Structure 1
Amino acid sequence: MVTVRRTVPGVDFAQVRAELHVREEFPAEVLAEARRAAADPRLPEADDTGLPLVTLDPEGSRDLDQAVHIARDGDGYLVSYAIADVAAFVTAGGPIDDECWLRGQTLYCPDKRIPLHPTELSEDGASLLPEQVRPAALWELRLDASGAVTSATVRRTKVRSTAALSYEQTQRDFAAGSAHPSLALLAEVGPKRLRLAQQRHAINLNLPEQVVEQGPHGWELQYRTPLPCELWNAEISLMTGVAAASIMLDAGAGILRTLPPAPEETLAEVRATALTLGIAWPDGAHPSDVIDGLDRENPRHVAFIEQAAHLLRGAGYLGYTHGRPEDAVHAAIGAPYAHVTAPLRRLVDRYGLEVCLSACAGQPIPAWALDALPRLPDVVAGTGALESRLDNAIIDTVEALLLRDAVGKQFPAVVVGTGKDSVTVVLDEPAVRAKAEGGARLGDSVQVRVDAADPQKPELQLELVGHAQRR
């Protein structure tokens, strides 16, 4: 659901990418290998093309990593979850593989994708497009009546997706009672998985995301809230990632996504923020219990949730090859967790998936995967930092363009963060989130004046004016 829009014409995102030295073009030898691999993938003998899998993604997506089918299994469920088998196309140490290590992940810009793999693979030969036979890693996850996983395995096979569904149409189908048969039980499994996440104190901030999208008259800056079916679908991926982490821990080798528990001083700061904003924090309550009960339409609650993001600092990857590592937990999920469901878009997933496939088959982990595990965290950290800089630069540029002709004008806003000499504010409209000079309390309603807006730098200078009021 889009909550706020404002159109901006003529944004040069290519210039933003050039300034950050984003690798846009693939070398000729990489493209040549991609074409050869797409024409002749390493297909497994096992065949599950009769399973009516479907994909669920944003409208127009072609880099389809996952396809799902959910069936009843006694009083529980059987979730079949096919993941694109990138290793069937990419040879370790070859041109594509070397390029992937330089890129790390797919980068998403408003005007184009900068893919991890050439589009001959990521949007064609390896993608789980409908009515195409593809090599895949097929997870089979059995759930009890509560939605808890009772067993999980993964194996190589051939699959054929039967439909490419979009979130928007699928949500409409659920509302009309006409969801695709392969996906209809997602409306049962998804909410049950969300309840289990609450029970293990998973932290989900669930705030609207600031995004730039193409509109009919230019680029639009928006706040977007995920649809229910998106949250349910994300739970299938999270469930698989938790199962994969368990398999890797038992295998004594793997690559985990980790997040340490917040230190006590950070917890104390967040509790103090709740008190300041008049938000109840019962004795013994976990932060997730407080966050889950808040109203995302209440400015004071939004301000608190923004501050609660401090609890989620320090995420990274842990690659290991011997034994069971300590500190393997992902505090926001409330369990050990691994990325294995998006190998077309993230380098790390191919390696984690290979560990799980080997462990479930009772075979040694291939040397190309095992040798890479300790090196992956540093590489992925670097490419992740580039993604963050790119996202911030795009948002900063669009915000400055939006307010370029508004220098001297005032806008209503809400304070969602405080610093020594400035605050972070979210404007009521347009969808701008930025720092403003001056002082106010968290959750206050304020007026901000635009003092400067230069999209070329990019730079946006706001200043608090008038009297702050508590909503």
Structure 2
Amino acid sequence: MKTLIDSTNALIDGLAAIRLQFSVADQFPAEILAAAEAAAGRLPTEHADRTDRRFVTLDPATSTDLDQAFAIERSGGDLLLHYAIADVAWFVDDGDAVDQEAWRRGTTIYLPDGKAGLYPPILTEGAASLLPAVSRPAVIFTTRVDADGNVHLDGAERAVIRSTAKLAYDSVDAADLPPDFDELSRRIDAAESRRGAARVDPPEQEVSALGDGRYQLTFRPRLRSEEQNAALSLASNLAIADALLAARTGLFRVMPEPDEKAVQRLRHTAQALGLTWPEMEPLAQFEKTLNLSDSRHAAFTLAVRRASGGASYVPYREGVVPWHAPMAASYVHATAPLRRLADRYVVRAALAVANGQPVPPAVSSAFERLPQVMARADARDGQIDRAVIDLAEALMLKGSEGTLFKAVVTDADEHGLRIQLCDLPVVARVRGQGGTPGDRIQVKLIAADPLRHTITFERAG
């Protein structure tokens, strides 16, 4: 969930400034903590016993806020994905103190030096987290995945589960996973290819020390286990989206394709990074050729993320098909309720729909209010992510003032030029006119201030 790793703690002062600038709430008020502690003691009384099913979790090694656990079984030629999601709604009531605080926060904020949770740790890292070897209330969504990767929500139930293992991306062994884990992710990947989906999951960047107070930014390629685990969440979210659409309700995650101007800007970015993008090849097709172990390709995926029109949430509207262009499908967020406010309500709606029950009025009402709340949280999170990257880039460039860099102009407006450095994954602005997209120019680094997370370039003659 972090965009950048800082194992050197080189960013600590700058991160403190970012937390202050964006009013990141590190602590919860005493009354919220007390309410959460009381809620954590609730015993599950409306849940089936599924502790005999072998669920496991797969996350970063240090994660303790575990939203999802999974089990897989065969059903003829189909695979059944039993995806257990933390039953946050069991602990948080509509309108209670914890709920009101969550509506103020919207999401968990992740920074390289820690996180600011959506809910108090006694819930997210304790009573509601699907930790191993303890019984936990969950909502199990069973998704049927056929041989072609098509998904269908077979059912949902509240149940108590007992995860048998907390597996980590960087150390998981195939023997630890359900036998059909690879096959299920293969099917989902194949279905994505047929749909023409173009999910962009940029790798994390990492600050590493070079010595003498110098640092560099490198990319940490996503592990295969991360990609496969993401396929499980994707399958569940797609199946839930279809079920909610059929029931004419829900809250959907939508995202447009990059517009023509953004695609042209990306072509200039590819040029700057030395990537060959055939003129007639669509962006989605070009993305499939990228190798994220190559830092130039990884930098391009970051540019794609920045170039998109931005994702948002929309409630169901009669006659409108909510569309997520990178997924090439209707899509919801339901699998991370410990970290996103909206997911708690989508889970509740899907649980009701799957069991032939009406969606609770409080959930339907929330669907109308959540888009604005989540948009505000998404905007804040995006600004923080950008500030963190700016901080790391400024740290990397500090001490190189006066150095000339090759760059390509990716965009031009009344404020000046937007540039992509050719040899570093840095996007910056240069004041002044006299350039058009696609121009190759030289720029001089004037200043790099990590505390203000700013970089200043000027065009060199």
- Output the amino acid matched with 1:347: L
Partner of 2:12: 11
- Output the amino acid matched with 2:146: D
- Distance verdict in 2 for CA 1:426–1:126, change over 3 Å: farther
Partner of 1:409: 403
Partner of 1:280: 278
CA distance, structure 2, for counterparts of residue 35 and residue 54 of structure 1: 26
Partner of 1:137: 139
Partner of 1:330: 324
- Distance verdict in 2 for CA 1:268–1:376, change over 3 Å: closer
CA deviation string 1:241-278 (max 9, x = no partner): 11111111122221111123555x45884797699876
Partner of 2:220: 224
CA deviation string 1:366-394 (max 9, x = no partner): 22212211000000000111111111122
Partner of 1:117: 119
CA distance, structure 2, for counterparts of residue 46 and residue 454 of structure 1: 56
SS of corresponding position for 2:445: strand
Unaligned runs of 5+ in 1: 467-471
Partner of 2:448: 453
CA distance, structure 2, for counterparts of residue 156 and residue 105 of structure 1: 24
The CA deviation at 1:117 is 0.3
Residue from 85, 104, 107 that aligns with 2:106: 104
Matched, 1:358 2:359: no
SS of corresponding position for 2:349: helix
- Distance verdict in 2 for CA 1:202–1:355, change over 3 Å: same
- Output the amino acid matched with 1:329: W
- Distance verdict in 2 for CA 1:434–1:71, change over 3 Å: farther
The answer (yes or no) to whether the contact 1:448–1:462 under 8 Å persists in 2 is: yes
Alignment of 1:271-310 (within 5 A): 279-282=277-280, 286-294=282-290
Alignment of 1:38-53 (within 5 A): 38-53=40-55
Matched, 1:389 2:391: no
The CA deviation at 1:115 is 0.3
The answer (yes or no) to whether the contact 1:8–1:218 under 8 Å persists in 2 is: no
Residue from 162, 165, 168 that aligns with 2:167: 165
Partner of 2:26: 24
- Output the amino acid matched with 2:222: P
CA distance, structure 1, for counterparts of residue 261 and residue 418 of structure 2: 19
SS of corresponding position for 1:350: helix
CA distance, structure 2, for counterparts of residue 30 and residue 200 of structure 1: 45
- Distance verdict in 2 for CA 1:71–1:325, change over 3 Å: same
The CA deviation at 1:25 is 1.8
Residue from 53, 64, 67 that aligns with 1:65: 67
Partner of 1:147: 149
Partner of 1:469: none
SS of corresponding position for 2:155: strand
CA distance, structure 2, for counterparts of residue 109 and residue 52 of structure 1: 33
Normalised by the size of structure 1, how large is the TM-score? 0.84
SS of corresponding position for 2:95: coil
Partner of 1:377: 371
SS of corresponding position for 1:450: strand
Matched, 1:257 2:259: no
CA deviation string 1:148-182 (max 9, x = no partner): 22443221111111111111112xx2xxxx43142
Normalised by the size of structure 2, how large is the TM-score? 0.86
Partner of 2:97: 95
- Output the amino acid matched with 1:113: K
Partner of 1:342: 336
CA distance, structure 2, for counterparts of residue 298 and residue 443 of structure 1: 24
- Distance verdict in 2 for CA 1:465–1:20, change over 3 Å: same
Partner of 2:233: 237
CA distance, structure 2, for counterparts of residue 159 and residue 30 of structure 1: 27
The answer (yes or no) to whether the contact 1:51–1:159 under 8 Å persists in 2 is: yes
The answer (yes or no) to whether the contact 2:88–2:344 under 8 Å persists in 1 is: yes
Unaligned runs of 5+ in 2: none
Partner of 2:176: 180
The answer (yes or no) to whether the contact 1:453–1:459 under 8 Å persists in 2 is: yes
CA distance, structure 1, for counterparts of residue 350 and residue 247 of structure 2: 8
The CA deviation at 1:304 is 6.8
- Output the amino acid matched with 2:332: A
- Output the amino acid matched with 1:293: T
CA distance, structure 1, for counterparts of residue 215 and residue 138 of structure 2: 36
Partner of 2:205: 210
The CA deviation at 1:310 is 7.3
- Output the amino acid matched with 1:109: L
CA distance, structure 2, for counterparts of residue 235 and residue 395 of structure 1: 27
CA distance, structure 2, for counterparts of residue 206 and residue 142 of structure 1: 25
The answer (yes or no) to whether the contact 2:215–2:396 under 8 Å persists in 1 is: no
- Distance verdict in 2 for CA 1:331–1:406, change over 3 Å: same
